[in-house]
Amino acid sequence: MKYLLTVICIALSSTLFAQSPRLDSTRVDTTQFVKIGGSKQFISIKGNKSNPLLLYLHGGPGAASSSHREQITHILEEHFLVVHWDQRGSGKSSLGNLISPTLSVMKQDAEDILEYLLEAFQKDKMIVAANSWGTVLGFHLTSKYPNKIASLVAISPVIDNQKSQDATQAKLIKHYRARNNKEAVRQLKAVHIPYENVEDMAVQFKWISDYKGTPISENEFVQYMKFFKEWEAQWMALYKELYSINALKHLTLFKIPVYVFIGEDDLTTGFELTQKFYKKLEAPKKQLFRLKNVGHQIPMYKSVEMQNLIYHVLAKANK
């Protein structure tokens, strides 16, 4: 269900009521709930409190990462104070948060988490590392609070869903036409972009997997559909809001260093589109990392390489 980790990422004024984490020792390894916008949301904190603060924004929407933090940030935790936040409705923050949130609510939550962590750990700035859907929130924070963000690490960033999915669709149809796979072409041509429902999402995913050499059996597809359906009730409305985002037009000027990570086999947010975004990107410092033999899910399948690169580039930047 690796793709679910990819695609499965009322404006409220928010006040924080949680107590600060215990800061009575150098090493921090704690979990807690903070109250944001009337809802309890889970955070997991690990590292040395004297190290730079790093907030990891997970993908989805809906794919909380705190439960597998040992895989995706264990190296970073030796050099940074790393915070995983289960966003509203995700992971351990799902209890009492079953109503589909809007994009504006999620952005407000991200702002409040930023303010809370800076105050709790008495830091002036933090590093933001964001994956997939998390980059939507990461771009928002860095645009609104450049004085509070030291650097942005954008992993498999969401640039333009419409263009990315159109390009993937064209590539898949061309591929299966060349192989005279009429059923694949028929199913792909029936997919609506923007996605109208999870059936569109699931069918494109099915043929992306097949294209990459990992075909999905009918029984497996039935199980995927069941999971997609459960995800749809919670997240589809928010996911559709993402089609309004066009980072190429509105998010190319930053006042902080930006480091972009892309998988060369990414058909979800579009490798070529991300390269185009990077070329337009203006920042005090920028760097592009192209990872081979990986698609959209860099934190899951290229975790060690990703973490080492993040550490070295940030350590070099701070010298």
**155-169: per-residue pLDDT in tens?**
999 999 999 999 999
Residue 149 confidence class, pLDDT cut points 50, 70, 90: very high
Q: What is the DSSP string of 13-34?
A: -----PPPPP-SSSEEEEEEEE
**21 within some domain:** no
The pLDDT of 101-108, averaged and rounded, is 94
Domain contains 10: no
The answer as to whether 66 is a domain residue is yes
Task: Tell me: do 143 and 266 sit in the same domain.
Answer: yes
Query: Measuring CA to CA, which residue among 118, 109, 119, 117 is closest to residue 58?
Result: 109
- Amino acid residing at 207: W
Q: Is the pLDDT of residue 5 over 50?
A: no
SS3 call for 246: coil
Residues 198 and 151 in one domain: no
Per-residue pLDDT tens over the stretch 229-266: 989 988 999 999 999 999 998 888 999 999 999 999 99
* Mean pLDDT on 7-32: 52
- Choosing from 243, 268, 291, the residue where a domain stops is 243
* Residues 48 and 141 occupy one common structural domain: yes
- Whether residue 104 is contained in a domain is answered as yes
Q: How far apart are CA 109 and CA 103, in angstroms?
A: 10
Q: Which residues pair with 41 in a beta bridge?
A: 34
Boundary (domain end) residue, out of 221, 243, 265: 243
Question: In terms of DSSP bridges, do strands 81-85 and 53-57 run parallel, antiparallel, or are they unpaired?
Answer: parallel
Q: Is residue 14 part of a domain?
A: no
In this structure, the answer to whether residues 227 and 257 fall within a common structural domain is no
Token readout for 316 is 């070099």
* Mean pLDDT, residues 114-120 taken together: 96
Mean pLDDT of the chain: 89
Phi, psi dihedrals of residue 224, rounded to the nearest 5°: -60, -45
Per the domain annotation, does 184 fall within a domain?
A: yes
Same domain, 216 and 73: no
Q: Output the pLDDT for position 8.
A: 35
Residues 218 and 264 in one domain: no
**Spatial CA neighbour of 284 closest among 257, 304, 259:** 257
Q: Phi-psi category of 122—alpha, beta or left, where left has phi over 0 and alpha has psi -120 to 50?
A: left
- CATH code, domain with 105: 3.40.50.1820
Q: Are residues 185 and 150 in the same domain?
A: no
Tokens 């040395």 -> residue: 48
Residue 100 pLDDT greater than 90, yes or no: no
Q: How many domains is the chain partitioned into structurally?
A: 2
- Is 79 in the same domain as 126? yes
- 195 and 133 within one domain: no
The answer as to whether 293 is a domain residue is: yes
**Is 52 in the same domain as 125?**
yes
pLDDT at 22 over 70: no
Q: For residue 287, which of 250, 263, 253, 313 has the smallest C-alpha distance? A: 313
Q: What is the pLDDT at residue 4?
A: 37
Average pLDDT, integer, range 117-132? 96
Better-predicted residue by pLDDT, 111 or 226: 111
- The whole-number pLDDT of residue 227 equals 87
Same-domain status, 235 and 272: no
Print the domain residue range for 103: 28-159+246-318
pLDDT at 25: 66
**Are residues 203 and 175 located together in one domain of the fold?**
yes
pLDDT tens by residue, 279-313: 999 999 999 999 999 999 999 999 999 999 999 99
Answer yes or no: is 5 within a domain.
no
Could you say which of 190, 222, 243 is where a domain stops? Answer: 243
- What value, to the nearest 5°, has the Cα angle with vertex 176 and ends 173 and 177? 80
Spatial CB neighbours of 50, under 8 Å, sequence gap ≥ 6:
26
- pLDDT, residue 7, reads 36
